[in-house]
Amino acid sequence: MPAAARFQLVRLNNGICSVRSLEDAETFHPVVGPVAEAEALYVRQLRLRERLQNHPGEFVIWDVGLGAAANALTVLRATRDLACQIRLVSFDHKLEPLDFALQHAADLGYFGGYENPLAEFLRAHRVEFQDGAQSVNWELQLGDFPAWVANPAATSIPRPHAILFDAYSPARNPAMWTLPLFTHLFQRLDPQRACALPTYSRSTILRVTLLLAGFFVGVGHATGMKEETTVAANTLELLAEPLNARWLERALRSHSAEPLREPVYSCAPLTPTTAERLRQHPQFAACQ
Ligand SMILES: C[S@@+](CC[C@H](N)C(=O)[O-])C[C@H]1O[C@@H](n2cnc3c(N)ncnc32)[C@H](O)[C@@H]1O
Protein backbone atom coordinates (compact mmCIF):
# COMPACT_ATOMS: atom_id res chain seq x y z
CA MET A 1 0.00 0.00 0.00
CA PRO A 2 1.55 3.42 -0.89
CA ALA A 3 2.32 5.79 2.01
CA ALA A 4 -0.38 8.16 0.82
CA ALA A 5 -2.94 5.41 1.45
CA ARG A 6 -1.56 4.42 4.85
CA PHE A 7 -1.58 7.90 6.40
CA GLN A 8 -3.90 10.86 6.31
CA LEU A 9 -4.04 14.36 7.74
CA VAL A 10 -6.71 14.95 10.32
CA ARG A 11 -7.86 18.35 11.51
CA LEU A 12 -8.36 18.45 15.29
CA ASN A 13 -11.14 20.45 16.98
CA ASN A 14 -8.75 23.39 17.50
CA GLY A 15 -8.05 23.54 13.75
CA ILE A 16 -4.50 22.11 14.05
CA CYS A 17 -3.50 19.26 11.71
CA SER A 18 -2.00 15.97 12.84
CA VAL A 19 -0.95 12.78 11.03
CA ARG A 20 -3.09 9.65 11.35
CA SER A 21 -1.95 6.11 10.60
CA LEU A 22 -4.81 4.23 8.97
CA GLU A 23 -3.09 0.84 9.44
CA ASP A 24 -2.70 1.42 13.17
CA ALA A 25 -5.92 3.43 13.52
CA GLU A 26 -4.10 6.04 15.64
CA THR A 27 -3.65 9.79 15.37
CA PHE A 28 -0.10 10.83 16.29
CA HIS A 29 -0.99 13.81 18.52
CA PRO A 30 -4.75 13.54 18.97
CA VAL A 31 -5.64 16.13 21.59
CA VAL A 32 -3.95 19.51 21.26
CA GLY A 33 -1.81 18.82 18.18
CA PRO A 34 1.86 18.02 17.61
CA VAL A 35 3.61 21.16 18.76
CA ALA A 36 1.53 21.98 21.84
CA GLU A 37 1.76 18.37 23.03
CA ALA A 38 5.51 18.14 22.47
CA GLU A 39 6.11 21.46 24.24
CA ALA A 40 4.09 20.42 27.30
CA LEU A 41 5.18 16.80 27.48
CA TYR A 42 8.85 17.11 26.59
CA VAL A 43 10.23 20.66 26.41
CA ARG A 44 8.69 22.03 29.64
CA GLN A 45 8.51 18.78 31.54
CA LEU A 46 12.15 17.92 30.88
CA ARG A 47 13.09 21.51 31.76
CA LEU A 48 15.07 21.20 28.57
CA ARG A 49 16.12 24.83 28.21
CA GLU A 50 17.37 24.91 31.78
CA ARG A 51 19.23 21.61 31.45
CA LEU A 52 20.81 22.67 28.15
CA GLN A 53 21.90 26.04 29.48
CA ASN A 54 23.82 24.33 32.26
CA HIS A 55 25.14 21.45 30.19
CA PRO A 56 28.74 21.32 29.02
CA GLY A 57 29.31 19.29 25.83
CA GLU A 58 26.93 17.09 23.92
CA PHE A 59 23.39 16.61 25.25
CA VAL A 60 22.02 13.30 24.00
CA ILE A 61 18.31 12.86 23.26
CA TRP A 62 16.74 9.58 22.18
CA ASP A 63 13.56 10.12 20.18
CA VAL A 64 11.75 6.78 20.35
CA GLY A 65 9.04 6.74 17.67
CA LEU A 66 10.30 9.37 15.22
CA GLY A 67 7.01 9.21 13.30
CA ALA A 68 6.36 12.56 11.66
CA ALA A 69 9.23 14.23 13.62
CA ALA A 70 6.98 16.64 15.50
CA ASN A 71 8.56 15.90 18.86
CA ALA A 72 12.10 16.10 17.51
CA LEU A 73 11.52 19.37 15.68
CA THR A 74 9.63 20.97 18.56
CA VAL A 75 12.56 20.20 20.86
CA LEU A 76 15.07 21.65 18.39
CA ARG A 77 13.01 24.77 17.72
CA ALA A 78 12.43 25.41 21.43
CA THR A 79 16.18 25.43 22.09
CA ARG A 80 17.62 26.86 18.85
CA ASP A 81 18.62 30.17 20.47
CA LEU A 82 20.83 28.41 23.05
CA ALA A 83 24.53 27.77 22.53
CA CYS A 84 24.37 23.99 22.83
CA GLN A 85 25.32 20.75 21.13
CA ILE A 86 22.42 18.37 20.60
CA ARG A 87 22.99 14.78 19.64
CA LEU A 88 19.61 13.46 18.56
CA VAL A 89 19.05 9.76 17.89
CA SER A 90 15.66 8.91 16.39
CA PHE A 91 14.28 5.39 16.37
CA ASP A 92 11.55 4.04 14.12
CA HIS A 93 10.93 1.00 11.99
CA LYS A 94 9.32 3.07 9.24
CA LEU A 95 10.18 6.29 7.45
CA GLU A 96 6.82 6.56 5.67
CA PRO A 97 5.24 8.78 8.36
CA LEU A 98 8.05 11.33 8.00
CA ASP A 99 7.93 11.14 4.22
CA PHE A 100 4.16 11.66 4.29
CA ALA A 101 4.42 14.53 6.78
CA LEU A 102 7.08 16.31 4.73
CA GLN A 103 4.78 16.17 1.72
CA HIS A 104 2.16 17.92 3.88
CA ALA A 105 4.58 20.26 5.61
CA ALA A 106 2.51 23.36 4.85
CA ASP A 107 -0.62 21.94 6.54
CA LEU A 108 1.29 20.58 9.51
CA GLY A 109 3.12 23.84 9.99
CA TYR A 110 6.01 22.68 12.20
CA PHE A 111 8.63 22.00 9.53
CA GLY A 112 9.35 25.67 8.78
CA GLY A 113 13.09 26.21 8.40
CA TYR A 114 13.96 22.50 8.78
CA GLU A 115 12.96 21.31 5.30
CA ASN A 116 16.53 21.04 3.97
CA PRO A 117 18.06 19.16 6.93
CA LEU A 118 15.06 16.82 6.94
CA ALA A 119 15.37 16.06 3.25
CA GLU A 120 19.03 15.13 3.90
CA PHE A 121 18.02 13.10 6.98
CA LEU A 122 15.49 11.13 4.92
CA ARG A 123 18.10 10.48 2.22
CA ALA A 124 21.16 9.68 4.35
CA HIS A 125 19.60 8.74 7.71
CA ARG A 126 21.83 11.33 9.36
CA VAL A 127 22.40 15.05 9.15
CA GLU A 128 24.55 17.62 10.91
CA PHE A 129 23.75 21.30 10.86
CA GLN A 130 24.27 24.54 12.70
CA ASP A 131 21.19 26.58 13.62
CA GLY A 132 22.24 29.87 15.17
CA ALA A 133 24.21 28.99 18.28
CA GLN A 134 22.87 25.44 18.35
CA SER A 135 24.69 22.56 16.67
CA VAL A 136 22.71 19.45 15.80
CA ASN A 137 23.99 15.97 15.06
CA TRP A 138 20.95 13.84 14.19
CA GLU A 139 20.93 10.19 13.23
CA LEU A 140 18.32 7.55 12.55
CA GLN A 141 18.22 4.01 13.89
CA LEU A 142 15.86 2.33 11.46
CA GLY A 143 14.49 -0.97 12.72
CA ASP A 144 12.52 -2.67 15.42
CA PHE A 145 13.18 -0.79 18.67
CA PRO A 146 12.45 -3.69 21.09
CA ALA A 147 14.97 -5.84 19.18
CA TRP A 148 17.56 -3.04 19.06
CA VAL A 149 17.35 -2.23 22.73
CA ALA A 150 17.61 -5.92 23.68
CA ASN A 151 20.87 -6.33 21.78
CA PRO A 152 23.76 -5.49 24.11
CA ALA A 153 26.19 -5.42 21.15
CA ALA A 154 24.56 -2.27 19.80
CA THR A 155 26.53 0.15 21.95
CA SER A 156 27.87 2.74 19.50
CA ILE A 157 24.97 5.09 20.24
CA PRO A 158 25.75 7.53 23.08
CA ARG A 159 23.68 7.08 26.19
CA PRO A 160 20.85 9.56 26.64
CA HIS A 161 20.24 12.51 28.94
CA ALA A 162 16.58 12.54 27.87
CA ILE A 163 14.22 10.16 26.09
CA LEU A 164 11.09 11.22 24.19
CA PHE A 165 9.01 8.04 24.33
CA ASP A 166 6.15 8.16 21.85
CA ALA A 167 4.93 4.79 20.59
CA TYR A 168 1.33 4.10 19.64
CA SER A 169 -0.94 3.18 22.54
CA PRO A 170 -0.26 -0.01 24.51
CA ALA A 171 -3.48 -1.60 23.24
CA ARG A 172 -2.41 -1.07 19.59
CA ASN A 173 1.36 -1.35 19.97
CA PRO A 174 1.98 -3.66 22.98
CA ALA A 175 5.48 -4.61 21.79
CA MET A 176 6.64 -1.09 22.67
CA TRP A 177 5.35 -1.20 26.25
CA THR A 178 6.59 -4.48 27.72
CA LEU A 179 8.59 -5.00 30.88
CA PRO A 180 11.49 -6.60 28.94
CA LEU A 181 11.69 -3.50 26.69
CA PHE A 182 11.84 -1.01 29.57
CA THR A 183 14.23 -3.25 31.50
CA HIS A 184 16.59 -3.29 28.52
CA LEU A 185 16.15 0.45 28.07
CA PHE A 186 17.01 1.10 31.70
CA GLN A 187 20.10 -1.10 31.35
CA ARG A 188 21.20 1.07 28.41
CA LEU A 189 21.33 4.20 30.58
CA ASP A 190 24.54 5.42 32.12
CA PRO A 191 23.99 5.41 35.91
CA GLN A 192 26.29 8.46 36.10
CA ARG A 193 24.21 10.40 33.54
CA ALA A 194 20.89 11.74 34.80
CA CYS A 195 18.19 10.84 32.30
CA ALA A 196 14.43 11.43 32.24
CA LEU A 197 11.78 9.82 30.06
CA PRO A 198 8.37 11.49 29.83
CA THR A 199 5.52 9.74 28.06
CA TYR A 200 1.85 10.48 27.52
CA SER A 201 0.32 7.51 29.35
CA ARG A 202 -0.59 7.64 33.02
CA SER A 203 -1.77 4.05 33.27
CA THR A 204 -0.98 2.02 36.34
CA ILE A 205 0.32 -0.79 34.12
CA LEU A 206 2.88 1.55 32.55
CA ARG A 207 3.97 3.04 35.86
CA VAL A 208 4.42 -0.39 37.46
CA THR A 209 6.35 -1.50 34.37
CA LEU A 210 8.73 1.45 34.60
CA LEU A 211 9.28 0.92 38.33
CA LEU A 212 9.99 -2.77 37.89
CA ALA A 213 12.37 -1.97 35.05
CA GLY A 214 14.45 0.04 37.53
CA PHE A 215 13.27 3.63 36.99
CA PHE A 216 11.99 6.08 39.57
CA VAL A 217 8.57 7.27 38.42
CA GLY A 218 6.64 10.49 38.89
CA VAL A 219 3.42 12.19 37.93
CA GLY A 220 3.79 14.11 34.68
CA HIS A 221 2.29 17.41 33.52
CA ALA A 222 -1.14 17.68 32.01
CA THR A 223 -1.21 17.92 28.21
CA GLY A 224 -4.43 19.18 26.68
CA MET A 225 -7.28 17.00 27.89
CA LYS A 226 -4.96 14.57 29.70
CA GLU A 227 -4.85 15.69 33.29
CA GLU A 228 -1.72 13.67 34.02
CA THR A 229 1.12 11.99 32.17
CA THR A 230 4.18 10.10 33.45
CA VAL A 231 7.88 10.84 33.85
CA ALA A 232 10.46 8.17 34.61
CA ALA A 233 14.08 8.84 35.49
CA ASN A 234 17.19 7.11 36.74
CA THR A 235 17.45 9.64 39.58
CA LEU A 236 14.78 11.03 41.88
CA GLU A 237 16.28 14.50 41.41
CA LEU A 238 14.72 14.77 37.95
CA LEU A 239 11.19 14.07 39.24
CA ALA A 240 9.07 16.99 40.44
CA GLU A 241 6.36 14.75 41.92
CA PRO A 242 7.44 11.14 42.56
CA LEU A 243 4.63 8.60 42.92
CA ASN A 244 3.92 8.23 46.62
CA ALA A 245 2.63 5.66 49.10
CA ARG A 246 -1.01 6.52 48.24
CA TRP A 247 -0.34 5.71 44.60
CA LEU A 248 1.28 2.42 45.68
CA GLU A 249 -1.79 1.50 47.75
CA ARG A 250 -4.07 2.15 44.76
CA ALA A 251 -1.80 0.13 42.46
CA LEU A 252 -1.86 -2.82 44.90
CA ARG A 253 -5.69 -2.78 44.73
CA SER A 254 -5.99 -2.09 41.00
CA HIS A 255 -7.56 -4.60 38.60
CA SER A 256 -5.24 -3.41 35.85
CA ALA A 257 -1.62 -3.12 37.01
CA GLU A 258 0.44 -6.18 36.04
CA PRO A 259 3.12 -5.35 33.42
CA LEU A 260 3.01 -6.90 29.95
CA ARG A 261 5.73 -9.52 29.69
CA GLU A 262 4.87 -10.43 26.11
CA PRO A 263 3.86 -8.13 23.23
CA VAL A 264 0.20 -8.90 23.87
CA TYR A 265 -2.07 -6.38 25.57
CA SER A 266 -3.80 -7.62 28.73
CA CYS A 267 -5.16 -6.22 31.99
CA ALA A 268 -4.68 -8.03 35.28
CA PRO A 269 -4.14 -7.20 38.95
CA LEU A 270 -0.61 -7.50 40.33
CA THR A 271 0.62 -11.00 41.08
CA PRO A 272 1.85 -11.47 44.68
CA THR A 273 5.44 -11.55 43.38
CA THR A 274 5.10 -8.29 41.46
CA ALA A 275 3.36 -6.64 44.41
CA GLU A 276 6.25 -7.59 46.66
CA ARG A 277 8.84 -6.33 44.17
CA LEU A 278 6.95 -3.05 43.97
CA ARG A 279 6.85 -2.65 47.76
CA GLN A 280 10.61 -3.21 47.85
CA HIS A 281 11.35 -0.58 45.18
CA PRO A 282 13.70 2.09 46.62
CA GLN A 283 11.10 4.75 45.79
CA PHE A 284 8.68 3.16 48.30
CA ALA A 285 10.89 1.15 50.63
CA ALA A 286 11.37 4.23 52.84
CA CYS A 287 7.55 4.64 53.16
CA GLN A 288 6.95 1.13 54.64
C1 LIG B 1 2.68 8.01 17.71
S2 LIG B 1 3.81 7.70 16.42
C3 LIG B 1 5.15 8.80 16.82
C4 LIG B 1 4.89 10.24 16.53
C5 LIG B 1 6.15 11.04 16.54
N6 LIG B 1 6.84 11.01 17.81
C7 LIG B 1 5.97 12.47 16.10
O8 LIG B 1 6.36 13.39 16.84
O9 LIG B 1 5.45 12.66 15.01
C10 LIG B 1 4.50 6.16 16.88
C11 LIG B 1 5.70 5.74 16.05
O12 LIG B 1 6.24 4.54 16.64
C13 LIG B 1 6.74 3.74 15.61
N14 LIG B 1 6.85 2.35 16.06
C15 LIG B 1 5.83 1.52 16.41
N16 LIG B 1 6.31 0.31 16.70
C17 LIG B 1 7.66 0.35 16.56
C18 LIG B 1 8.70 -0.61 16.70
N19 LIG B 1 8.43 -1.89 17.07
N20 LIG B 1 9.98 -0.21 16.48
C21 LIG B 1 10.26 1.07 16.11
N22 LIG B 1 9.29 2.02 15.94
C23 LIG B 1 8.01 1.65 16.15
C24 LIG B 1 5.72 3.91 14.50
O25 LIG B 1 6.25 3.56 13.21
C26 LIG B 1 5.35 5.38 14.61
O27 LIG B 1 6.08 6.18 13.72
pLDDT per residue as tens digits for the range 49-71: 999 998 999 999 999 999 999 99
pLDDT per residue as tens digits for the range 251-284: 999 999 999 999 999 999 999 999 999 999 999 9
Mutate to test the pocket of ligand 1, among 63, 91, 104, 173 (most ligand atoms within 8 A of CB): 173
Confidence label for 150 from pLDDT (cuts 50, 70 and 90): very high
Mutate to test the pocket of ligand 1, among 166, 260, 265 (most ligand atoms within 8 A of CB): 166
Residue 64 CA to ligand 1 centre (angstroms): 7
Q: How far apart are CA 123 and CA 212, in angstroms?
A: 39
Give the per-residue pLDDT at 31.
Answer: 72
> How many C-beta neighbours within 10 Å does residue 132 have?
9
The pLDDT of residue 288 is above 60? no
Atom of ligand 1 nearest to the CA of 68: 9
Give the per-residue pLDDT at 142.
Answer: 95
Atom of ligand 1 nearest to the CA of 94: 25
Give the per-residue pLDDT at 192.
Answer: 96
Q: Whose CA is nearest to atom 13 of ligand 1?
A: 65
Give the per-residue pLDDT at 287.
Answer: 57
Q: 48-73: buried (b, 16+ CB within 10 Å) or exposed (e) per residue?
A: beebbeeeeeebbbbbbbbbbbbbbb
Neighbouring-strand partners of residue 185:
none
Mutate to test the pocket of ligand 1, among 62, 73, 92 (most ligand atoms within 8 A of CB): 92
User: By the 8 A CB rule, do 154 and 148 touch?
Assistant: yes
Give the per-residue pLDDT at 153.
Answer: 73
pLDDT per residue as tens digits for the range 215-265: 999 999 877 767 899 999 999 999 999 999 999 999 999 999 999 999 999
Average pLDDT value over all residues in the chain: 92
Give the per-residue pLDDT at 80.
Answer: 94
Q: Whose CA is nearest to atom 10 of ligand 1?
A: 167
User: By the 8 A CB rule, do 210 and 251 touch?
Assistant: no
Mean pLDDT of 185-204: 96
Residue 144 CA to ligand 1 centre (angstroms): 10
Per-domain boundaries in the chain: 3-244
Give the per-residue pLDDT at 14.
Answer: 80
pLDDT per residue as tens digits for the range 6-33: 888 888 888 788 888 888 888 887 777 7
The pLDDT of residue 2 is above 70? no
Q: Whose CA is nearest to atom 12 of ligand 1?
A: 65
User: By the 8 A CB rule, do 128 and 77 touch?
Assistant: no
Q: Whose CA is nearest to atom 11 of ligand 1?
A: 65
Mean pLDDT of 124-143: 96
Within 6 Å (CB) of ligand 1, which residues are found?
Answer: 28, 34, 65, 67-71, 91-94, 97, 144-146, 166-168, 173, 175-176
Residue 209 CA to ligand 1 centre (angstroms): 19
Mean pLDDT of 80-107: 94
pLDDT per residue as tens digits for the range 154-168: 668 999 999 999 999
Q: Of residues 278 and 285, which shows the higher confidence score?
A: 278
What percent of the chain stands above pLDDT 70?
A: 96
Q: Of residues 175 and 54, which shows the higher confidence score?
A: 175
Residue 53 CA to ligand 1 centre (angstroms): 29
pTM beyond 0.85: yes
Query: The domain 3-244 belongs to what CATH superfamily?
Result: Vaccinia Virus protein VP39 (3.40.50.150)
